[in-house]
Amino acid sequence: MTEVTSVRPSSINSREVQSDFALEFARRGYVVLSLDQAGHGFSDAPAFVNGYGGPAGLAYLRSLDLVDKNNIGLEGHSMGGWTILSAAAAYPDGYKAMVLEGSSTGSGRAPEGSLTYPRNLALVYSQYDEFSQLMWDVPRAKDVINSPKLQKVFGTTETVQPGKVYGDPAAGTARVLYTPATTHPGDHLSHEAIGHALDWFGRTLTGGTPLPASNQVWHWNEVGTTLGWLGFISLVLGTGGLLLHTRSFEGCAARPPPRVG
């Protein structure tokens, strides 16, 4: 069985923001550890300490008996990407592949030109990501293919070709860039972005239940949640209207007395 740690996405948010990724990983038979970054969600303060909580999360995952410790994938979005990079740095032999969604290798986290850290890296960087200057030192997300910083990570001095696998997955040096047509927060609700993560783990990890990357059902969960909220609002409004006809609340529905100057 294959394992994946799905790390919470970005600053302020909780792990639920990446629930669609977690759902699709689980549907493929992966053991999923979905955690809050340090100081976010249900994780204790302070934030931004101890590798954002990534090393502790990976250590816990590796402690579970049902986990194949030689077959672990890491995935994180935005600052969640820095969380799993911290985990990878703390346990360089503790995982097999990684997906950075809307993130980067971060300043000082990866040796320039290193092809073994991160191991078997897929970068999913959307065409309209708002943080390209911060992440990859380019003014527009579409220019990431010519980012010198990215080229060093890919071990090339030429334009990085989206979809092309660089390096060797067996040696842990594989690299690939995906550029879905969405925004930074749009990654969480993108069939394309989620599909790329599924495809990469399907290529680099073994086990699980093989399913095409296009086979996704997370959107029904989003639809159901939306309908649930609409139903809750309707229930509250309807209940309020009924209460106005009861003796206890009938005063709330009465016309106010004339104003006295």
Over residues 145-176, the pLDDT tens digits come to 999 999 999 999 999 999 999 999 999 999 99
Look at the chain and report how many structural domains it folds into. Answer: 2
**Enclosing domain of residue 247:** 218-253
pLDDT digits (tens, 9 = 90+) for 35-74: 887 777 777 777 777 778 889 999 999 999 989 999 999 9
Q: Same structural domain for residues 247 and 184?
A: no
- Relative to beta strand 121-124, strand 72-77 is unpaired
Element (H, E) at 6: strand 3-7
**Mean pLDDT across 112-119:** 76
Residue 108 per-residue DSSP state: T
Q: Same structural domain for residues 232 and 125?
A: no
Q: Same structural domain for residues 89 and 18?
A: yes
Whether residue 121 lies inside any domain: the answer is yes
Determine if the pTM surpasses 0.75.
yes
Whether residue 47 lies inside any domain: the answer is yes
Work out the burial of residue 176: count CB atoms within 10 Å of its CB; fewer than 13 is exposed, 13-18 middle, 19 or more buried: buried
pLDDT at residue 165 in the model: 96
Q: Same structural domain for residues 161 and 242?
A: no
Q: Same structural domain for residues 199 and 223?
A: no
Give the residues across from 176 on adjacent strands: 122
The rounded distance, in Å, linking the Cα atoms of 141 and 129 is 5
Of the chain, the percentage scoring pLDDT greater than 90 comes to 57
pLDDT at residue 251 in the model: 83
